[in-house]
Structure 1
């Protein structure tokens, strides 16, 4: 498993480390859906028709070539791999427990409105959100984008083929964590590709990003931006240049993910 998780998390950092500071400082924003009023009972429904499991678009061999640790005992191997690749300082960026589960949960949630800060695999980025102006001229400062530079550089080090080879060897653990998340018929690699596509579709900012501060925390002034998914907000907050660098690497990785040879 040498370098396996290290290469994987170099890419995962791009998708979650930057966004972690936003969520950590914003606090939970989830609002439960309103309870629909009770409706009169309808006629008895017809017996359900058994449906086939969804077809797998991008299969990955689910049988490991070498024995893997149980998912519940996989943290030491994950953290050791990170240390081997990035040195001892790499541990300061990651949560030490349930690493693989945290990665799966965060990836699954990036296209949604909120990513749970408590379940992220990474720790918050240091420093405060940088702004410019005040009142009606309050904007996100370009100085804020530089805070993400170390993570962007880290991601650009990743070789797409090396990443996919390592990811394939470890895939059974990610697949198990995804099914445990509540998708018994789901396929994690398909979800990962879909999330990458979602991030690639993230819009660019047109000029300074206006902010408002209705209470303690900042929000996008434009309701259309504020309603974006967690992943799209991330791409907006790190700046167009950083987002372009991330997208370039994600395209390389996606190309490899969708062409993994089937097990023979």
Structure 2
């Protein structure tokens, strides 16, 4: 992983966690049962013991009175109110996202362009075990990847882990129930976007589950972590780590504490639901 290439990529693991928490809430949330219809008991009709005498009236007057009474008793139709279209503009989506966290830094981390589209493509890429810098929903890291040398070997500098702390802090601050409501609101728009980039048999929920499992299956590893460079990119010295998927390797680069917090948030959502 070159420093230039690493800096050009958003911390997709954290982006994925933030977004996937929203999605996981809806997927695993049990459906509310339909309300039961309440049938009121109708009291039996009471027939009077005595019948009032019928007073003869002209036929025209009687028919006119009945017509007027029927007209007055006829219920008036209730005018239908057309549903308001869902506002999927970037400004509205960003505003609603910012309302989920009290971290001021959140506003500086979100990209303002095509948020829903980027979110859908990014989640699909994570499920396919890929990372693309072209579909970021959060701004790139502002500090480079760093290593240090010891005993003729290169190791990941712990200072590199701290770069991801603002993203993880935002993730930890998001409230589950609010995330659920926001995702439910935009789910129709998300499904429409996903239908344009997926096969007919695929579902966004299915891709979401894949992405969550990929992140949660990232192994825990001891520190420090040895890396090496092939003059272009830094790679993990351990072949088993280097063989992991791109999202998993990126998650490892956040460091043990950040990774623990990300996983804990995802598990919290699944266990709660």
TM range (shorter): 0.5 to 0.7
Change (3 A) 1:153 1:89: closer
Conserved 8 A contact 1:13-1:155:
no
The answer for the alignment partner of 1:80 in structure 2 is 95
Conserved 8 A contact 2:148-2:154:
yes
Conserved 8 A contact 1:212-1:220:
yes
The answer for the alignment partner of 2:181 in structure 1 is 165
Offset from partner CA, 1:171-202 (integer Å, 9 cap, x none): 11111121111233322123212311221111
The answer for the alignment partner of 2:136 in structure 1 is 120
The answer for the alignment partner of 2:14 in structure 1 is 14
Q: SS of the counterpart of 1:212?
A: strand
Change (3 A) 1:135 1:107: farther
Q: 2-side partners of 1:236 and 1:109: how far apart?
A: 18
- Please tell me the root mean square deviation across aligned C-alpha atoms, in Å: 3.0
Q: 2-side partners of 1:98 and 1:105: how far apart?
A: 11
The answer for the alignment partner of 2:23 in structure 1 is none
The answer for the alignment partner of 2:85 in structure 1 is 67
TM-score normalised per structure 1: 0.66
1:4-43 pair list within 5 angstroms: 14-16=14-16
Query: Alignment partner for residue 177 of structure 1, among 193, 201, 204?
Result: 193
Q: Give the CA deviation at 1:229.
A: 1.2
Change (3 A) 1:90 1:112: same
1:1-264 pair list within 5 angstroms: 14-16=14-16, 67-69=85-87, 74-85=89-100, 90-133=106-149, 136-255=152-271
Q: 1-side partners of 2:119 and 2:151: how far apart?
A: 37
Q: Give the CA deviation at 1:113.
A: 4.5
Q: 1-side partners of 2:205 and 2:269: how far apart?
A: 12
Conserved 8 A contact 1:60-1:171:
no
Unaligned runs of 5+ in 2: 1-11, 19-26, 32-82
Which of these two proteins has the greater Rg computed from alpha carbons? 2
Q: Give the paired residue count.
A: 202
The answer for the alignment partner of 1:37 in structure 2 is none
